[in-house]
Amino acid sequence: MELSYSCTINVPQKFAFSRATDFENFELQGFGNLSRFEPVSEVRAPEIGARWRTSSEFQGRPRRFSLELFELEPHSKVVLGNKSEKYDIESEFLFEEIGPEETGFSFNLNAKAQSITARLILQTIQLARARIEKSMQSDFDDMALRMEEAYDAGE
């Protein structure tokens, strides 16, 4: 299963990347519909290998999952994911400088099932794809708006 999103954020690339990789804030507040990111390893972000436990509600039930920081290229790329017996998931966040105060942001998620149970869950998610994409778009649009407001406020 693949999901993607892209937009233009009216802030400099370094600012957008800095806000999007504020791991301490995610550990306190979470992101969009996700709960807090609870650190579960001694490795702490921004070091590769940092891991978190988090959850998200799907079909009225909380779904718990783990995330690991796989890749971090300063100012341009973050890859988070989960490789386990059940899933192989990678989420790639890209930040591309368009102009001095414009950043192209894109998100790509690729999820593969490694078990029958995971395959059934991904098929269920696929059935709710339109709702999930709408929620994802809303969360990323809100993220972009918060970045623009923070930049305009001089934070």
d(CA 55, CA 57) in angstroms, rounded, equals 7
Rounded to 5 degrees, φ, ψ at 63 are -115, 120
Helix (H) or strand (E) holding 120: helix 116-127
| CA 122/CA 129 separation, integer angstroms | 10
Give tens-digit pLDDT for 44-98: 888 999 999 887 776 677 777 888 999 999 999 999 999 888 889 999 999 999 9
pLDDT at 32 over 60: no
Homologous superfamily of 2-150 in CATH? START domain (3.30.530.20)
Provide mean pLDDT across the span 105-113: 93
Strand partners, 33: none
pLDDT of residue 34: 56
Q: What local confidence, expressed as pLDDT, does residue 8 receive?
A: 96
The whole-chain average pLDDT of the chain stands at: 88
Q: Is pLDDT at 30 greater than 90 in this prediction?
A: no
What percentage of the chain exceeds 70 in pLDDT?
A: 94
Would you say residue 35 has pLDDT above 80? no
List the domain boundaries for the chain: 2-150
